């Protein structure tokens, strides 16, 4: 560095006499970036997501993943596919508070929307160990308590045999994993599904057009809502920030050591003086056993949030208006029943949810802003739709 500057200083003295070089801003775009943008359909105003080295996407993996996503043969009893809980027209959520799995057992959590999911720093509602989609996908496929697709050890061979017996799949597996000749495996299925999920990209909402400089893309009410959302009264932006509207954010450039593994207790419940949430789901605490993690969940990306109702980790809030009422109160009050308690007084609740007084007009504006995050194109994009239809 020293020599570089010394050299420039000598040149500079000469340049004084001749005028100097022009200003410029450039991005060192690599070939990998160009290919990934094209393959995953990533718009320029988003960064490239973090992708594990061992599962770089290819067109063949994505194609295989898309078929598997919509194929009920991926459940032990041929009844469900990923789509059963992740429907395209609902931004890949399912519209119910808590879905049931292939055995009819109800899950404790709400199905997450999958649009731009790959930009989260961790996966599922509360798991600091799932840092890539690949880590998470073991769960819907293999879990036995509760069952989602139910491809447990007992059924794995049977399910894989279905794909090995179908010539179309044999070809797709061979194309997607050309270096392996052993047919279908749970690992290959996970890699292909993760590659497909990384193509569920939304970057063409009115909000995106606004980010790109089109001042008319948002209505005045939506702009007012955006200002409130980013203001110190509503304080939403502290946890829902950046292009993906969440602090749980990670992309290709994020130093994994700084990946913001963020979880918060927003005061949805308060069942004891320790700030308990319902015993069947205490969020991060269920993994860490650290009492300070009770009720800690990941802030969701709010992209397409208007079509992913009901809300929160257990689908316990039906509408966006009620979500805002919960924040405005500074925590939810449940007056009776097994979950009775005042979430506002939850001792583990984040300081960023202090409560605020908002007029109906202001709440309408914030809802209107949240609606501007809906990207119709991702809800209808044929490349993401059921290939069997």
By the criterion CB under 8 A, which residues form the site for other proteins? 1-2, 4-6, 8-9, 12-13, 15-16, 20-30, 32-33, 44-48, 211-212, 241-244, 246-247, 249, 251-255, 258, 260
Among 123, 173, 207, 249, binds ligand HEC (CB under 6 A): 123
Q: Tell me the window of 34-42, 203-211, 237-245, 375-383 that interacts with ligand HEC (CB under 6 A).
A: 237-245
Of 37 and 162, CB closest to other proteins: 37
Tell me how far apart the alpha carbons of residues 270 and 349 are, in angstroms, rounded to a whole number: 9
Best CA proximity match to 217, nearest among 47, 373, 45: 373
Of 7 and 383, CB closest to other proteins: 7
State the binding partner of 33 from ligand HEC, other proteins, none, CB within 5 to 8 A by kind: other proteins
Question: Would you count residue 348 as binding ligand HEC (CB under 6 A)?
Answer: no
Considering only residues 99 through 118, tell me which ones interact with ligand HEC, judged by CB under 6 A: 99, 101, 107, 109, 111-112, 114, 117
Q: Tell me the window of 6-14, 199-207, 231-239, 377-385 that interacts with ligand HEC (CB under 6 A).
A: 231-239
Tell me phi and psi for residue 144, to 5 degrees: -115, -5
State the binding partner of 262 from ligand HEC, other proteins, none, CB within 5 to 8 A by kind: none
Give the interface size with ligand HEC as a residue count (CB under 6 A).
53
Tell me how far apart the alpha carbons of residues 194 and 348 are, in angstroms, rounded to a whole number: 34
The 8-class DSSP code of residue 202 comes to -
State the binding partner of 101 from ligand HEC, other proteins, none, CB within 5 to 8 A by kind: ligand HEC
Of 2 and 388, CB closest to other proteins: 2
Q: Which 3 state secondary structure label does DSSP give 157?
A: helix
CB of 90 to ligand HEC, least distance (A): 11
CB of 342 to ligand HEC, least distance (A): 16
Q: If you write DSSP's letter for every residue of 63-90 in order, what string do you get?
A: HHHHHHHT-GGGSTTS---GGGT-BGGG
Among 235, 251, 362, 371, binds ligand HEC (CB under 6 A): 235
Of 250 and 313, CB closest to ligand HEC: 313
CB of 231 to other proteins, least distance (A): 10
DSSP strand E in 248-372: where? 333-334, 341-342
Contact in structure between 304 and 113 (CB atoms under 8 Å): yes
Question: Would you count residue 203 as binding ligand HEC (CB under 6 A)?
Answer: no
CB of 349 to ligand HEC, least distance (A): 8
State the binding partner of 1 from other proteins, ligand HEC, none, CB within 5 to 8 A by kind: other proteins
Question: Would you count residue 67 as binding ligand HEC (CB under 6 A)?
Answer: no
Task: Annotate 9-31 with b (16+ C-beta within 10 A) or e (fewer).
Answer: eeeeeeeeeeeeeeeeeeeeeee
Q: Which two tokens stand for residue 363?
A: 């709440």
The residue with tokens 């993401």 is 384
Question: Would you count residue 292 as binding ligand HEC (CB under 6 A)?
Answer: no
Tell me how far apart the alpha carbons of residues 371 and 331 are, in angstroms, rounded to a whole number: 23
Contact in structure between 326 and 342 (CB atoms under 8 Å): no
**Residue 99: partners with Cβ closer than 8 Å, 6 or more residues away:** 84, 85, 106, 107, 110, 111
User: How distant is the alpha carbon of residue 318 from its chain centre?
Assistant: 20
Tell me which long-range contacts 53-59 makes (C-beta under 8 A, separation of at least 24): 55/134, 55/191, 55/194, 55/195, 57/195, 57/198, 57/199, 58/176, 58/195
Question: Would you count residue 366 as binding ligand HEC (CB under 6 A)?
Answer: yes
CB of 229 to ligand HEC, least distance (A): 6
Among 308, 346, 372, 374, binds ligand HEC (CB under 6 A): 308
Best CA proximity match to 51, nearest among 217, 251, 189, 267: 251
Q: Which two tokens stand for residue 83?
A: 């789509």
Which residue ranges make up the site for ligand HEC (CB under 6 A)? 69, 80, 82, 84-86, 99, 101, 107, 109, 111-112, 114, 117, 120, 123-125, 133, 136-137, 140-141, 148-149, 193, 197, 234-236, 238-240, 264, 266, 268, 297, 299-300, 302, 305, 308, 311-313, 320, 323-324, 327, 350, 352-353, 366
């Amino acid at each position: 560095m020293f020599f570089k500057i010394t050299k420039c200083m000598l040149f500079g003295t000469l340049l004084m006499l001749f005028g100097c070089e022009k200003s410029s801003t450039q991005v060192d775009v690599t070939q990998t970036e160009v290919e990934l943008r094209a393959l995953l359909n990533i718009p320029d105003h988003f960064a490239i997501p973090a992708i594990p080295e061992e599962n770089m996407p290819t067109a063949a993996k994505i194609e295989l993943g898309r078929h598997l996503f919509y194929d009920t043969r991926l459940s032990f009893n041929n009844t469900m596919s990923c789509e059963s809980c992740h429907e395209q027209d609902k931004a890949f959520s399912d519209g119910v508070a808590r879905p049931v799995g292939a055995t009819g057992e109800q899950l404790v959590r709400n199905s997450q929307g999958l649009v731009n999911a790959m930009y989260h720093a961790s996966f599922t509602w509360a798991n600091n160990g799932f840092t890539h989609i690949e880590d998470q996908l073991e769960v819907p496929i293999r879990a036995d308590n509760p069952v989602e697709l139910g491809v447990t050890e007992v059924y794995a061979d049977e399910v894989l045999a279905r794909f090995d017996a179908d010539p179309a799949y044999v070809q797709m597996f061979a194309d997607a994993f050309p270096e392996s000749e052993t047919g279908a495996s749970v690992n290959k299925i996970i890699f292909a599904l993760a590659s497909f999920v990384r193509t569920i990209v939304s970057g063409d909402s009115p909000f995106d057009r606004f980010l790109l400089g089109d001042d008319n893309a948002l209505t005045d009410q939506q702009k007012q809502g955006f200002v409130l959302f980013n203001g110190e009264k509503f304080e939403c932006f502290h946890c829902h920030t950046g292009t993906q509207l969440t602090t749980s954010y990670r992309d290709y450039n994020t130093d994994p050591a700084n990946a913001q593994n963020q979880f918060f207790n927003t005061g949805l419940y308060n069942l004891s003086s320790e700030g308990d949430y319902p015993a069947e789901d205490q969020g991060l605490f269920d993994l860490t056993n650290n009492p300070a993690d009770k009720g800690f969940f990941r802030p969701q990306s709010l992209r397409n949030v208007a079509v992913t109702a009901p809300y929160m980790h257990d689908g316990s809030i039906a509408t966006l208006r009620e979500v805002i009422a919960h924040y405005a109160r500074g925590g939810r009050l449940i007056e009776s029943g097994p979950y009775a308690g005042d979430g506002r007084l939850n001792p583990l609740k984040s300081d960023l949810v202090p409560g605020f007084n908002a007029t109906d007009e202001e709440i309408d504006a914030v809802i209107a802003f949240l609606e501007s995050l809906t990207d119709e194109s991702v809800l209808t994009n044929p490349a993401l739709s059921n290939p069997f239809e």
